[in-house]
Chain A
Amino acid sequence: MTDRSATMAAGSAPATADAHRRPLLEVKDLRVHFPTEDGLVKAVDGLDFTVAKGRTLGIVGESGSGKSVTSLAILGLHKRTRAQLSGEVLLDGVDIIGAAEETVRRLRGNKMAMIFQDPLSSMHPYYTVGAQIIEAYRVHNNVSKRAARARAIEMLSLVGIPQPDRRVDDYPHQFSGGMRQRAMIAMGMSCNPGLLIADEPTTALDVTVQAQILELMKKLQREFDSALIIITHDLCVVAEVADDILVMYAGRAVEHGPVADLFRRPEHPYTWGLLSSMPRLDRVREDRLRPIKGTPPSLINPPPGCRFHPRCPYAQRLGEICWTVEPELLEGPNDHSTRCHLGPVKAREVFVAEVEPLL
């Protein structure tokens, strides 16, 4: 195996697909640890990725895989008294991890913004939707209230709220779930941020509304040419909107690559497990689902060796190495990297012979 520093560098390379564009966001060896009574929770434990302007990165993982913790770290939203952060998060060259809180506060909302899962609890029920967008806009832009209100109406109309000049004075509870998520997007985009992070943006929505919101996010991204990170547990959502996909398991990336390649030639047993455990409308119905056995591991005492080995159906085959040596995230062809002892050649064989026929 190669030494650690070399693979870390390799791990950060894949997303720079268009090399002529410098990535807007670079995350290098990010670690977020929380000291608790029971021990140190290593929620994110060495994560590297980059996102360029105009690109969409989908981060996929189950609850507790560290995907949301990552997004909060990028936004500088972890309390420094509670969380131990290390590594680098470079937004346009500025390191967020080491920066003063005031600097991060000025970047947040202006250069980067976030859309949360539940728009009802992330909007203030006491203020009108307009007032909240206006406030966000005026914090970062020295404009009159009138100009800010005009901007709020413009943004609401852009995200497809009917009669925006009237609905701007409505309270969040007067909006439906889909409209609230649109309003959240309007608020996030109001300062034209270079980086937009959407944490489970459609999980709380119905399928027909989800389709509308995904369509809207794709349209806005084209118009604003922003970098977009979509965090979700739903592989179907990222298949639709992302350019690159990062699969996380127990605080680490297990697979990372361009969307088409990752879905056509997935290499990690965990990704196979995710793909085969969900019922799919585009395939013939089967009598049994094939779940991944067991449950996600503890982040205080992660399993030794490969963190996925207790749940991995292929661990027995390779033997001891899986539970003694942690595999590195190794880059293969097509900017596609995988953290598995099988290695790309063997993984391909297993996938073609055993996994793909069952998908």
Chain B
Amino acid sequence: MTTSAVTAPAAGATVTAREPIVELRDVRMHFPVAQGGLLRRKMGAVRAVDGVSLAVYGGETLGIVGESGCGKSTTGRLMTRLLEPTGGQVVFEGQDITHLSTAKLRPLRRRFQMIFQDPYSSLNPRHTIGTIVGAPLRLHGVETPNGVKRAVQDLLERVGLNPEHYNRYPHEFSGGQRQRIGIARALALRPKLIVCDEPVSALDVSIQAQVINLLEDLQNEFDLTYLFIAHDLSVVRHISDRVAVMYLGKVMELADRTSLYEAPQHPYTHALLSAVPTPDPAKEKGRERILLRGDVPSPLDPPPACVFHTRCWKAQDICRVVEPPLLQVSPTHQVACHFPEERKLV
């Protein structure tokens, strides 16, 4: 099918012993919280990401799901070093980039780009599309055989926009078109890895499907690797090869797509999957639904040991004392729970 069959992600295939493109090793991101006016005292820290280890392999799509505040966006920003972690290591293609300076990072930035959620606030309203999409080319001094304008127009065409729109401004485009502009910009430097932070959640259903298909086509064509962050579990199932479920700054479960959706083991994953409504009223009636009580605890003061124990119906004494490590239950499936259990929910 594809010429680049070696690295293109075969559907459902799991990753073999390949070198990861980017790896997080026990990464922590604690944002300090200060209080008081003149003499600001450090009051504590928001533990947005608290000991996450994840590796993204070439050609795959790793999905991260979780509710708001679980640290999934922060994880994406740490991976592209838009944030400097307070602990752990970020390794990009074998090179430790955890504390690299902005200047040293810049040449590496050609290799990892980002697509943002809100196509309204992530494009400068005062710049034309040509300026926006051409900016990475100009900043990095990329050689373009037929000039920057031509390169940008090729990119616009590739993402399904009219190249004649080169001189238009973002407000002249619809949400879906703006998202395509964001994709063209991320693509400009031909990166290896693109971190997509909720790229379709602001779009209408019919447009959402168009953009997802485009992302998949581009992945095959340019041999891209995606970190796909979203809260929509059905979208993540569609696009990802492997999926990580996050809760309160930690990875709860990490597995290949099929295992995660067909045989999830963590109670939080069970709750998430059972909460997704389906467009089938007949099936909806007989479906088992796990309703979680209360809200997500504050990341300022997360529960001790297992962070999920305050809302878990299976919690025992050990869950309040010992933190469950992320353990392998099968070659492609890891769970952080003292009482993992396979359950069929979808």
Contact = CB atoms under 8 A, between A and B. Distances in A.
B86 interface: no
Nearest to A62: B204
A277 B205 contact: yes
Interface string A324-358: 00000000000000000000000000000000000
Interface stretch (A10-18, A81-89, A116-124, A282-290): A282-290
Given A206-B67, A208-B271, A289-B209, A236 B281 contact: no
A208 B67 contact: yes
A292 B238 CA distance: 17
A264 interface: yes
A285 B231 contact: no
B213 A208 contact: no
A289 B271 contact: no
Nearest to A273: B206
Contact of B284 (A239, A287, A296): A239
Interface in A279-328: 279-282, 285-293, 295-296
A171 interface: no
B275 A210 contact: yes
Given A208-B292, A277-B205, A263 B346 contact: no
Given A62-B205, A63-B204, A279-B238, A212 B281 contact: no
Interface stretch (A90-98, A145-153, A174-182): A174-182
B189 interface: no
Interface string B148-190: 0000000000000000000000000011110000000000000
Contacts, number: 128
Query: Which of A62, A211, A235, A290 neighbours the largest number of chain B CB atoms within 10 Å of its CB?
Result: A211
Contacts of A177: 68
Contacts of A263: 279-282
A259 interface: yes
Contact of B346 (A215, A281, A293, A295): A281
Given A177-B68, A208-B67, A281 B278 contact: yes
B235 A208 contact: no
A131 B283 CA distance: 42
B122 interface: no
Interface string A90-119: 000000000000000000000000000000
B227 to A, nearest CB: 19
Contacts of B205: 62, 233-235, 274, 277-278
| Size category of the binding interface on chain B | 35 or more
B234 interface: yes
Contacts of B175: 63
A47 to B, nearest CB: 20
A275 B205 CA distance: 9
B111 interface: no
| Size category of the binding interface on chain A | 35 or more
Contact of A211 (B208, B237, B275): B275
B268 to A, nearest CB: 9
Interface string B52-94: 0000000000000001100000000000000000000000000
Interface in A208-264: 208-212, 214-215, 233-237, 239-240, 259-260, 263-264
B105 interface: no
Contacts of B289: 211
Contacts of B272: 207-208
B231 A237 contact: no
B302 to A, nearest CB: 15
Contacts of B235: 279
Nearest to A287: B11
A291 B206 contact: yes
Contacts of B292: 208, 212
Contacts of B238: 279, 285-286, 289
22 contacts: A178-B295, A207-B275, A208-B272, A210-B277, A211-B275, A211-B277, A214-B277, A233-B205, A235-B205, A236-B279, A239-B278, A277-B206, A280-B279, A281-B273, A286-B238, A288-B213, A289-B212, A289-B238, A290-B209, A291-B207, A295-B177, A295-B207
Given A237-B277, A277-B208, A292-B206, 9 more contacts: A209-B295, A259-B281, A263-B281, A275-B279, A279-B238, A280-B279, A289-B209, A289-B238, A291-B209
A-B CB proximity, top 7 nearest: A291-B209, A206-B67, A279-B238, A292-B206, A236-B277, A289-B209, A277-B209
